[in-house]
Structure 1
Amino acid sequence: MKVFVAILALAVASVSAGTLRTKDDAVAPKDIQGRITNGYPASEGKAPYTVGLGFSGNGGWWCGGSIISNTWVLTAAHCTNGANSVTIYYGATWRTQAQFTHQVGSGNFRQNPNWPNTNGNDIALIQTPHVDFWSMVDRVELPSFNDRYNNYDNWWAVACGWGGTYDGSPLPDWLQCADLQIISNSQCSQTYGSLPDGILCVSTPNGKSTCGGDSGGPLVLQDDKKLVGVTSFVSGNGCQSGAPAGFTRVTTHLDWIRDNSGVAYY
């Protein structure tokens, strides 16, 4: 059975505080609050590649992203879409208490030109000022071109983002993570219908899932420590419905990432 999906960016009155609402109510039939549901608080430095992204434009909204080099962050296209600028929060465990921030304008965005017309292309790059790496701020590696045909079915990965820990909770700003198992697209298509290769899904047992506000954030292999997914969507029935959560599959975009940022692994 096909289930309506909701993108995961959340609009905010301000980046540092405010009541959260869905960025586009037309694609979010449920009142989905920002959270990784039923995850666990991240220790400081657990995911130094994770950044918070506070976008300005039409009230502003919050997303996540991944550092992939000293000058590039990877996120979702539906996060950069329509934004005037973004404040990047580096090395934060508490959402707005970053080690440092940078602000860049929309001229620094590289949005996949095929989004949203073709599913599986919800991906964008942000060019940033140069940042130095250390224990709290570091890059995550991409899969190599030799791994481009690996679907990672049944591999375990970790997703991280900011928000509350259960339905109806207050929204703490502490970074949350969840350990999630990747499933095949054939299994995921039992919920969403036919899926393109550019989408990767994870199972969400016991309501453990990404949710609103986690958009653009990382899905990183536990064993291989490679970035394989960019948080993209969940079922419109809710984050804790048990339906698979969807990500943009990074291996299908290695050429595009290389051509636009120069970042590649061979």
Structure 2
Amino acid sequence: MKALVVFALALVYVSASVHEDQPDIYHYNELQDISNVEIINGHNASLGKFPYQVRLFIKTSKKCIGCSGSLINHNWVLTAAHCTNGSNSVEVLLGGIENSDFRAKFLIKPKYIIIHEDWDDQFNDISLIRIPYIKYSRYIKPVNLPKIQQNYKTYVGFKAIATGWGRTSNASNSSLEILQYGTVNIVNNKKCSNSFYFLTSSQMCTFDSKISLCLGDSGGPLVILPSKVQVGIASFVSKGCSNPNGFTRVTSFLKWIKRHTGLPL
């Protein structure tokens, strides 16, 4: 993999003066290297394969960043808080795998964005975007969410699908960006503790020797197989886009989602 070039100041969770032995941790959208914005070793998705996948372009006062999200019903998109924080507007694109074929586009104002009230750059990295009513079709369908229960699975040992956008190769100069996907393994948080010392029960991680999320994949859904239920939201990654990968654990926020959306979870 080519060396990463940093075009924007990256948020580093770990202060070198406090945890000198810990690697730098970055959100997926904070390093703006346009030559390597992809799921590493992923595959091109076919049109309609992931009808819940949403592409987001977030405009702030200083820049425009790309993120992903998931459609969870006719009016709501689920994504990461660090994607929508500080946004002046969010362009929401649905029903496609590349820029030329999206079936629906909305420009959303900040008043229709809900960021978790306890988000602090590291924890509670979850956000909701309210969109105009969208009709379902072959290419636009909601992802399944877990049901609210007294106890939840950790999903350790499950295989899951991660999805996000990026160039088809590092060497390509083409602006074509096709949705990528890859199968990853959900592992125990202890396995990731050397890389992510701060992990809590409201976060989860994946590890795979080949597949890794990378820059620009923030907010994307992690969907377990074979049920295709979303259990994670892409949140953070080690410097260099190496494994493991970090996610917001959806089951920790189901009541929060229900409170703001009214979904019958």
TM range (shorter): 0.7 to 0.9
C-alpha displacement at 1:9, in angstroms?
1.7
Q: Distance in 2 between matches of 1:148 and 1:102?
A: 37
* Equivalent position of 2:194 in the other structure: 190
AA partner of residue 218 (structure 2): S
* Residue number among 155, 160, 165 corresponding to 1:157 in the alignment: 160
Question: In structure 2, how many angstroms separate the alpha carbons of the residues matched to 1:147 and 1:98?
Answer: 39
Partners of 1:142 and 1:227 within 8 A in 2: yes
The structure whose residues are more often helix, as a share, is 1
Alpha-carbon distance in structure 2 between the residues aligned to 1:229 and 1:32? 26
Query: Which residue of 2 is the match for residue 46 of structure 1?
Result: 49
Listed as ranges, the gaps of 5+ residues in structure 1 are 12-20, 23-30
Q: How many Å apart are 1:2 and its aligned residue? A: 2.7
8 Å contact kept, 1:93–1:174? yes
Aligned counterpart, 1:226: 229
Amino acid in structure 1 at the alignment position of 2:165: W
Matched with 2:177 is 173
Residues 114-166 of structure 1, C-alpha deviations (whole Å, 9 max, x = no match): 1116x431100000000011110000111111385211001011011110255
Does structure 1 conserve the Cα–Cα contact (< 8 Å) formed by 2:69 and 2:77? Answer: yes
Cα 1:234–1:147 change in 2 (3 A) is: farther
Provide the C-alpha distance between the structure 2 equivalents of 1:160 and 1:172, rounded to a whole number of angstroms: 16
Q: TM-score, normalised by structure 2?
A: 0.86
Counterpart for residue 27 of structure 1: none
Q: Is the 8 A contact 2:168 2:178 kept in 1?
A: no
Residue 136 of structure 1 corresponds to: 139
Counterpart residue type for residue 115 of structure 2: Q
One-letter code of the match for 1:52?
Answer: R
Which residue is 1:95 aligned to?
Answer: 99
Q: TM-score normalised to the size of structure 1?
A: 0.86
Q: How far apart are the structure 2 equivalents of 1:163 and 1:147?
A: 38
Q: Which residue does the alignment assign to 1:259?
A: 259
Aligned AA (2:120): P
The reply on whether 1:113 has 2:117 as its aligned counterpart is: yes
* SS of residue in 2 equivalent to 1:145: coil
Q: Write the distance in 1 (CA, Å) between the matches of 2:193 and 2:245.
A: 12
Aligned residues: 243
Q: State the partner residue of 2:87.
A: 83
Kept in 2, the 8 Å contact 1:37–1:166? The answer is no
The match for 1:63 is 67
Could you say what secondary structure the match of 2:142 adopts?
coil
Partner SS, residue 155 of structure 2: coil
Identity across the alignment (%): 36
Q: State the alpha-carbon separation in 1 of the partners of residues 154 and 176 from structure 2.
A: 34
Return the offset for 1:101.
Answer: 0.5
Q: Letter of the aligned partner of 2:217 in structure 1?
A: D
- Which amino acid in structure 2 is aligned with residue 161 of structure 1? G
When residues 96 and 4 of structure 1 are mapped into structure 2, their CA distance, relative to the original with a 3 A threshold, is farther
The amino acid across from 2:49 in the alignment is: K
**Matches of 1:254 and 1:168 in 2, distance apart?**
41
Structure 2: runs of 5+ lacking an equivalent: 1-20
Work out whether 1:9 is the aligned partner of 2:29: yes
Residues 168-206 of structure 1 show CA distances to partners (whole Å, capped at 9, x for unaligned) of 554641110011110111111132214111111000312
